Amino acid sequence: MSFIIVFMWSFVLWLVLTAGTKGMLWSAEELAAGVVFSLIVGYATRDIIGEKAGRFLNPARWVGFIVYSIGPLFWGMVKANFDVAYRVITGKIKPGIVKVPVDLENDAQYTILSNSITLTPGTLTIDACPDEKALYVHWIYVTDEHPESSEPISGSFEKWARRLGK
């Protein structure tokens, strides 16, 4: 099962890399070479990708990822960049490391939320501790030293991460 996932994952990248070999599409020999190399890569890395990665083959989840990345994530990055520009100009900073309790279950959810938090400037995930169900986040302007949820730091990202990585 995980062999098929890696195969498709690498074959999609191959298609992206070799697009345009026959008009805008792919020539037959490129497709054949892609299948061969994807088989090799898939066989070599089949037990690295993780057993439950098959849930990311669901097209509804791809739509979710696209909506998330051009909607909430992009908007959050724009807002946060202007906020950091303001802090650079005025020098009003109050940095600190806070422990943020999160309600997530698996690795993918932790990764999505941590990367989203790191991508929005002003906050930087230092460590993810699934045992404590918490993230440690370095914050440029600490308004709440002991937050009850991830709401003040990341807005709606936790809800999205829970849905996308489920």
Partner 1 sequence: MSEDMGLIVKTMARATIPLIGIFGAYVISHGHLTPGGGFQGGATIAGAGVLFLIAFGLSEAKKRYDHHVYSALESLGGLVFLGAAMLGLSVAFFYNTLWRKGIAFAGEPGTLLSAGYLPIMNLAVGLKVFAGLVSAMMAIAVYRRWKE
How far apart CA 58 and CA 61 sit, in angstroms, is 5
**Least distance to partner 1 from the beta carbon of 61, Å?**
14
| Selection from 153, 156, 160 nearest residue 134 by Cα | 153
How far apart CA 118 and CA 133 sit, in angstroms, is 18
Interaction of residue 41 with partner 1, rule CB under 8 A: yes
Interaction of residue 120 with partner 1, rule CB under 8 A: no
Q: List, in order, residues 6 or more apart from 11 with CB less than 8 Å away.
A: 34, 35, 38
The residue among 116 and 139 lying less far from partner 1, judged by its C-beta, is 116
Interface pick for partner 1 out of 37, 74, 82, 86 (rule CB under 8 A): 37
Interface pick for partner 1 out of 21, 58, 81, 156 (rule CB under 8 A): 21
Interface pick for partner 1 out of 103, 127, 132, 144 (rule CB under 8 A): 127
**Long-range contacts of residues 70-79, Cβ cutoff 8 Å, at least 24 apart:** 72/155, 72/156, 72/157, 72/160, 73/116, 73/119, 73/120, 73/157, 76/116, 76/120, 76/154, 76/155, 76/157, 77/119, 77/120, 77/121
The residue among 98 and 135 lying less far from partner 1, judged by its C-beta, is 135
| Selection from 146, 151, 84 nearest residue 119 by Cα | 84
Interaction of residue 10 with partner 1, rule CB under 8 A: yes
Instruction: Build a one-symbol-per-residue string for 59-98: x at contacts with partner 1 by CB under 8 A, - elsewhere.
Output: ----------------------------------------
Interaction site with partner 1 (CB under 8 A): 6, 9-11, 13-14, 17-18, 21, 27, 29-30, 33, 37-38, 40-42, 44-45, 48-50, 53, 107-108, 110-111, 114-115, 125, 127-128, 130
